[in-house]
Structure 1
């Protein structure tokens, strides 16, 4: 599937930037968003459209970016919702404002791009939406409550959306990576709650993740190669994909744990209907 038009959010670094470079190299057209258009200053390619979107939660700004892409390239075939950041902290430590900002970027930004691109995909009777969630959208982790909640929201949303869009020939793929060697654990991508409550040991958890920074086993180049291959192969049976050994093993353990619990309480809860 070459010579397609991609719209990618959060493309200034990490997965997004790697994906942009790979797609341009193979001749696809790419519109990419960043909070600062200067982050794309080094890209000199007529197939690239740089879009400055400082706040994906601002629907009007997102709408303008989508319209500019359609005006420039005539279509959007594939949307990749990649923008997001981590928020570390136990739930009691996280303020309402911190939680809402996390959801604005990770969840409502995703909603806004999809809402504004769907009319064009419906008109062209085709398209693919790729939502980058996380293994943290399938498995809960200590002191990642807000991030877990936002990524679970993306997974649940994607799982429902796929049913709505399938009759319209628009596919939805939710990708759930584990730790990859990107800048995700850097201070500008990973925030820590302002409040500290000693009982929750957030400082120790933060130190452990900080120690992992740029030592993650996942290769982001291979991850984006896999993503492109999934798109090209267009396997209609795949709508969720766990990326990397950490994610794959974590998902298997979570599924096994759920099955064990279902078996343990089946006699209590399986038959709760009226006789």
Structure 2
């Protein structure tokens, strides 16, 4: 699509991959609204990127319904949704709590489902739209301490495949981005040790991939793309 025609709702836009993606999309001429739970961080992100901002918790159905409606009103329409909001938790299986497991799935799976569902209603009605789900290489291969996070990303990958089949007849492109380790505040929050950060992916790398996928002419689309550091 022509990025100057893009009207984008991007979840998890206050830091990391979301923040950089919003910045690059606005620079490319897109109209963007970001959302997040931290009002202060969200306001700062909006100021630095030029995006609009709506405070919302994607794990709450009422928040998501209002979010999509308000974003469409602010943007004068809606033709792109980027499911980027994510929550991480790493723990050995015996130490993993039910509450922790549910918290990861609430944002990474339920949140993506709710945003995707509400966006699909708009896209089906207008017979056009784009959904990009930011998943992870953790959704392709499991690892020790990754029960909750990998489960959520495997689920997101499955949903992406289902949506792609279901929505393609309505001229809706469903795409998935699978980054490996990316140097963002996310890694600090989950307590994931980082060795040789200079060799890891940066948020700008993933953002460029997202912008590239979206900018492809509407007659075609890339179903999914995986990004690895060259020498991790």
Tell me, yes or no, whether TM beats 0.5: yes
Instruction: Tell whether 2:232 aligns with 1:230.
Output: no
Secondary structure, in 3 states, of the residue corresponding to 1:76? Answer: coil
Structure 1 residue 83: deviation in Å? 0.6
Aligned to 1:48: 51
How large is the RMSD of aligned CA atoms in angstroms?
2.2
Consecutive aligned runs of 4 or more in structure 1 exceeding 4 Å deviation: 44-47, 213-216
Q: How far apart in 2 are the matches of 1:26 and 1:211?
A: 32
Distance 2:134 2:38 in 1: 21
Counterpart CA distance in 1 for 2:59 and 2:101 is 14
Within the candidate set 131, 146, 149, 2:148 is matched to: 146
Separation of aligned partners in 2, 1:213 and 1:17: 23
Q: Distance in 1 between matches of 2:109 and 2:151?
A: 10
Stretch of structure 1 that moved more, 219-228 or 59-68 = 219-228
- Listed one character per residue, the Cα deviations across residues 129-186 of structure 1 (whole Å, up to 9, x for unaligned) are 0011100000111111111101000001111110000100011111111011212211
Partner of residue 118 from structure 1, selected from 113, 117, 120: 120
Q: Does 1:171 align with 2:155?
A: no
Partner of 2:36: 34
Secondary structure at 1:30 match in 2: strand
**2:18 corresponds to 1:16:** yes
- Normalization by structure 2: what TM-score? 0.90
Match of 2:226 in 1: 242
Unaligned runs of 5+ in 1: 192-208, 251-275
Determine helix, strand or coil for the equivalent of 1:101: helix
- Is the CA contact 1:133–1:151 (under 8 Å) kept in the aligned structure 2? yes
Decide whether aligned partners of structure 1 residues 186 and 44 sit closer, same or farther in structure 2, where only a CA change above 3 A counts: closer
Residue 213 of structure 1: CA displacement? 8.2
Structure with the larger RCO, 1 or 2 (CA within 8 Å, 6+ apart): 2
Structure with higher Rg: it is 1
Q: String of CA shifts for 1:225-267, please: whole Å, max 9, x gaps.
A: 1221111114735211101247xx99xxxxxxxxxxxxxxxxx
CA contact (8 A) 1:182 1:214 kept: no
**Contact 1:181–1:213 (8 Å) recurs in 2:** no
221, 236, 243: which one aligns with 2:204: 221
Q: Is the Cα contact below 8 Å between 1:130 and 1:172 reproduced in 2?
A: yes
Does the C-alpha gap of structure 1 residues 180 and 13 become closer, same or farther in structure 2, counting only changes over 3 Å? same
Unmatched 5+ stretches in structure 2: none
Deviations 1:1-38 (A, max 9, x none): 22210110001100000011111122210011011232
CA 1:86 to 1:46, structure 2 compared with 1: closer, same or farther past 3 Å? closer
Q: 1:166 to 1:245 in 2, by over 3 A?
A: same
- Per-residue CA deviations over 1:91-127 (Å, capped at 9, x if unaligned) read 2221111111110011000011011111111111101
**SS of the residue 1:129 aligns to:** strand
How big is the shift at 1:224?
A: 1.1
